[in-house]
Chains A and B, each alone.
Chain A
């Protein structure tokens, strides 16, 4: 355990040091993304009522997290594989889980400011009053970890060119065809069923219900489904990191 913690700490420093160069750009892009979603989606819908505003305001941070985890994440992994960084990391005298955990931690830390920026802009733009539950913290963390875990799963589990394409597809589906910024009931029945399995709807539900708690309280199904998806993503990542050809 001591070796694990020491490795994790050192890797965290090492990863932070290496991503420091892109940190500012990353933060700017994420903030722009979050702000852009709120302002841009409002153009699509001229009359924003309270219900729609709530979907936009709570959907924007989720879309931000999906972009960081499932688009930027797999693309970074694809580059790391092609540049030999993945092989280099694999040769380090550290536990694989510490390696993955340190990467995920840095990804999480860079994703958090985007959430806050989105909420602030949403509150200003739509003049919302939210009923925030303390469960918002685990909800946001779980959503972030699911996005990061699945993003790594895509990046590590697929060949770099395929991973890049899939990550593009993910953002397209998440942005336009997922019940994140609109209710699932607007989708055709079959697509609604598909989203009962995919993680997107549960990410949106977890964040929305904890930011503005509905009368029936926060549903825990979303948390369970997200945890399951996160486990799948990280398991694939672990398997690919520990794989010995």
Chain B
């Protein structure tokens, strides 16, 4: 039954609530105020105004009490020089209130679940970034049930297979009655794994809801992406295909939002263009949270998301 309600004006009027058993993803571009929010909730930074409650307790008035109910996995590396993942996780479990036996059991459980047994007894300086990251997660997750767990970009540096294991463990924390708030840039993963998403931009919450609710804010259901064979030679959309919203184009690339009815003719058109050599490649992808996120958080985020994955194409 750990939950908190944040309504701090320090990051320009944020109001959000995380229930026990819930995983909430906090999205937003660099400098959007996500880490500050986490520090405020944990009583490490003061809000200039507003109220925060962690299970009814005010971190501004009683920071020490709140720290005992909150686990943070920081964005920076956890201090692992000279200690092994097993030692670090076990010690943190004890510091977070578990007795010796429970700490041992929980540590073994996390190490097995994250599949890092091979490095469990290797000291920190010899570990790869991904294993250090997973260890940092274990250090935050090694605690009794029913806490507030805040994870700052937990999946960075982690390989795709273990990333899935990590998401499972994040879900498991919620199942154990924790309220989980996580900061991430990985919109596609978050879409699959969180209950609710909060999008922040410039210190403000610009959207909040389940991934499905947020997706419904997007224009169209599909997105057709074309890459022209030569610069500046983008094809024109034929009359029988109607775009669901404004198209985006650069010198070589055209992105057309489409409703599902238009998907099939658009696919045929694109196939013909490629056969005729007008375009190099194309993709028809379902609109995802990332599209909404990009729309919401503006140009700065658009540039970043561009570098990341592009969803799962139907045809390429």
| CA gap between A244 and B76 in the complex, in Å | 19
Q: Judge if B163 is at the interface, Cβ distance under 8 Å.
A: no
User: A residues 1-44 with Cβ under 8 Å of B?
Assistant: 7, 10-11, 13-14, 17-22
| CA gap between A92 and B74 in the complex, in Å | 11
Contact call A94/B95, Cβ cutoff below 8 A: yes
What are 29 inter-chain pairs, A to B, with CB distance below 8 A? Answer: A7-B95, A10-B94, A14-B91, A14-B95, A17-B91, A18-B79, A18-B82, A21-B123, A80-B79, A83-B76, A83-B79, A84-B74, A84-B75, A84-B76, A85-B79, A88-B74, A88-B78, A88-B79, A91-B44, A91-B67, A91-B70, A93-B69, A93-B70, A93-B97, A95-B64, A244-B45, A244-B46, A244-B63, A245-B46
User: A residues 71-100 with Cβ under 8 Å of B?
Assistant: 80, 83-85, 87-95
A84: shortest Cβ distance to chain B, in Å? 3
Nearest neighbor of B87 in chain A, beta-carbon distance: A17
| CA gap between A7 and B92 in the complex, in Å | 11
Q: Chain A at the B interface: mostly helix, strand, loop or mixed? A: helix
Interface residues of chain A, those whose CB is within 8 Å of chain B, are 7, 10-11, 13-14, 17-22, 80, 83-85, 87-95, 244-245
Given contacts A13-B91, A20-B82, 11 further A-B contacts (CB under 8 A): A11-B95, A17-B91, A18-B81, A21-B82, A83-B77, A83-B79, A84-B75, A87-B44, A91-B67, A93-B70, A93-B96
Contact call A88/B82, Cβ cutoff below 8 A: no
Contact call B72/A91, Cβ cutoff below 8 A: yes
Contact call B68/A93, Cβ cutoff below 8 A: yes
Against A, the Cβ 8 Å flags (1 = close, 0 = not) of B27-68 are 000000000000000111110000000000000000110011
Q: Judge if B1 is at the interface, Cβ distance under 8 Å.
A: no
Nearest neighbor of B84 in chain A, beta-carbon distance: A17
| CA gap between A87 and B45 in the complex, in Å | 11
Chain B interface residue number, banded: 20 to 34
Contact call A92/B79, Cβ cutoff below 8 A: no
| CA gap between A69 and B212 in the complex, in Å | 57
Nearest neighbor of A94 in chain B, beta-carbon distance: B95
A154: shortest Cβ distance to chain B, in Å? 21
Contacts of B95 in A (CB 8 A): 7, 10-11, 14, 92-94
| CA gap between A171 and B157 in the complex, in Å | 41
Contacts of B97 in A (CB 8 A): 93
Given contacts A18-B82, A19-B82, A21-B81, contact A93 B91 (CB under 8 A): no
User: B residues 69-120 with Cβ under 8 Å of A?
Assistant: 69-70, 72, 74-79, 81-83, 87, 91, 94-97
Contacts of A83 in B (CB 8 A): 76-77, 79
B152: shortest Cβ distance to chain A, in Å? 11
Q: Which listed residue (A17, A88, A89, A244) contacts B43, Cβ 8 A?
A: A244
Q: Which listed residue (A11, A17, A89, A92) contacts B82, Cβ 8 A?
A: A17
A149: shortest Cβ distance to chain B, in Å? 22
Contacts of B91 in A (CB 8 A): 10, 13-14, 17
Contacts of A91 in B (CB 8 A): 42, 44, 67, 70, 72, 74
| CA gap between A89 and B72 in the complex, in Å | 11
Contacts of A11 in B (CB 8 A): 95
Most buried by B among A13, A18, A95: A18
Contacts of A244 in B (CB 8 A): 43-46, 63
B180: shortest Cβ distance to chain A, in Å? 16
Nearest neighbor of B125 in chain A, beta-carbon distance: A21
| CA gap between A7 and B77 in the complex, in Å | 22
A26: shortest Cβ distance to chain B, in Å? 12
| CA gap between A13 and B91 in the complex, in Å | 8
B225: shortest Cβ distance to chain A, in Å? 39
